[in-house]
């Protein structure tokens, strides 16, 4: 009964993401106290029915707590495999990156074996779903810790502070002062837009649909700089072509977006969260997090890290 109730509550949370009202769902033959299939039978055939049944099947899996992970002998971790330098497939076909290093060291910390990890590559839209649906033990996938997300999953302490940064190929651009009236490219409707408008009100902003389009704009000389996530822009620096070696990230970071590990909610995962946080704090004290970030070309100044020697401050809604 407890297992079914937990699944029902999670199912309601998923449906609420699509705008279905709680009262409507509660009125569907007492969903919280009835088996799903009774309610699903009332749904018309089509997208909703198929999606709901898919969720029901997926939820038969369950993430493991720390003791179960140790009995199993490996961790299951959602990661990005297309977001250098956090997680990507290198020239040898191997998973590499800052977050991959964190996952492997966590396997060593929890199980004594850095290879005792099963990686599950995910798209951005899947990152929280795989945690909600218990398909992974946790996710280390460029997930920004926000108050809204904390309502549906739990988070570790932040392991890195991402933020909006500027990349340029022009030697004449050394600071934000040099961009005051310049043409700056950035992603349409991204969270970076209001930051840049506030800091550089005289700049001409050019919206693009992707980071790739932003690269092309800079390569053509049509823009003085591109503004985007520092963790993504750092990946441009690692490009091995002579042309892209000219990319430089300006030292000014416009925002602080904490990246953290997402775990399932529930008291059974307290020990796992505690073990992960203890490891992150020790790695910070040992300077390992800072060294690995610098190794992968990420901005690694002290401002990029929460002081993990004390608990991170609570986010204010």
Three-class SS string for the chain?
CHHHHHHHHHHHHHHHCCCCCHHHHHCCCCHHHCCHHHHHCCCCCCHHHHHHHHHHHHCCCCCCCHHHHHHHCCEEEEECCEECCCEEECCCCCEECHHHHHHHHHHHHHHCCCCCEEEEECCHHHCCHHHHCCCCCEECCCCECCHHHHCCCEECCCCEEECEEEEECCCCCCCHHHHCCCEEEEECCCCHHHHHHHHCCCCEEEEECCHHHHHHHHHCCCCCEEEEEHHHHHHHHCCCCCCHHHCEECCCCCCCEEECCEECCCHHHHHHHHHHHHHHHHHHHCCHHHHHHHHCCCCCCHHHCCCCCCCCCCCCC
pLDDT digits (tens, 9 = 90+) for 177-194: 999 999 999 988 887 898
| Same-domain status, 108 and 91 | yes
pLDDT mean over 249-274: 91
pLDDT tops 50 at residue 298: yes
| Same-domain status, 284 and 236 | no
24 pLDDT tier (thresholds 50, 70, 90): very low
Please report the pLDDT score of residue 88 as a whole number: 94
pLDDT tops 50 at residue 247: yes
Please report the pLDDT score of residue 241 as a whole number: 39
In a domain, 312, yes or no: no
| Same-domain status, 238 and 268 | no
Please report the pLDDT score of residue 245 as a whole number: 47
Please report the pLDDT score of residue 48 as a whole number: 47
pLDDT digits (tens, 9 = 90+) for 3-17: 344 444 444 544 444
| Same-domain status, 88 and 237 | no
pLDDT digits (tens, 9 = 90+) for 74-92: 999 999 998 889 999 999 9
pLDDT mean over 279-305: 88
pLDDT digits (tens, 9 = 90+) for 158-175: 999 998 899 998 989 999
Q: Which domain holds residue 41?
A: 2-58
| Same-domain status, 151 and 213 | no
pTM above 0.85, yes or no: no
pLDDT mean over 201-222: 90
Boundary (domain end) residue, out of 203, 229, 249: 249
Q: In the predicted model, what is the mean pLDDT of the chain?
A: 80
| Same-domain status, 176 and 102 | no
Q: How many domains does the chain have?
A: 3
Please report the pLDDT score of residue 63 as a whole number: 64
In a domain, 26, yes or no: yes
| Same-domain status, 206 and 234 | yes
């Amino acid at each position: 009964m407890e297992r079914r109730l937990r699944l029902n509550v999670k199912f309601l949370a998923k449906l609420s993401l699509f705008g279905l009202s709680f009262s409507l769902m509660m009125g569907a033959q007492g969903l919280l106290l009835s088996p799903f299939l009774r309610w699903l039978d009332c749904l018309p055939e089509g997208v909703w029915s198929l999606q709901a049944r898919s969720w029901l099947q997926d939820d038969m899996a369950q993430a493991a707590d720390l003791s179960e992970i140790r009995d199993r002998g490996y961790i299951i971790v959602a990661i990005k495999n297309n977001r250098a330098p956090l997680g990507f497939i290198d020239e040898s076909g191997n998973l590499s990156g800052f977050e991959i290093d964190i996952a492997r060291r966590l396997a060593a910390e929890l199980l004594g074996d850095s290879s005792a990890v099963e990686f599950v590559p995910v798209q951005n839209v899947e990152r929280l779903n795989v945690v909600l649906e218990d398909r992974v033990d946790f996710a280390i996938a460029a997930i920004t810790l926000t108050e809204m997300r904390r309502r549906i999953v739990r988070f570790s302490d932040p392991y890195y502070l991402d933020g909006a940064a500027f990349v340029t190929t022009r030697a004449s651009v050394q600071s934000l002062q040099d961009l005051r009236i310049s043409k700056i490219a950035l992603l349409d409707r991204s969270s970076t837009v209001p930051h840049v408008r506030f800091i550089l009100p005289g700049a001409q902003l050019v919206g693009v649909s992707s980071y790739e389009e932003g690269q092309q704009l800079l390569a053509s000389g049509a823009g003085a700089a591109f503004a985007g996530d520092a963790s993504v822009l750092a990946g441009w620096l690692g490009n091995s072509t002579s042309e892209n070696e000219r990319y430089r990230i300006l030292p000014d970071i416009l925002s602080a977006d904490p990246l953290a590990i997402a775990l399932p909610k529930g008291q059974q995962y307290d020990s796992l969260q505690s073990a992960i946080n203890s490891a992150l704090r020790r790695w910070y004290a040992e300077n390992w997090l800072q060294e690995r970030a610098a190794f992968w070309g990420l901005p690694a100044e002290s401002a990029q890290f929460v002081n993990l020697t004390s608990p991170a401050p609570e986010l204010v809604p």
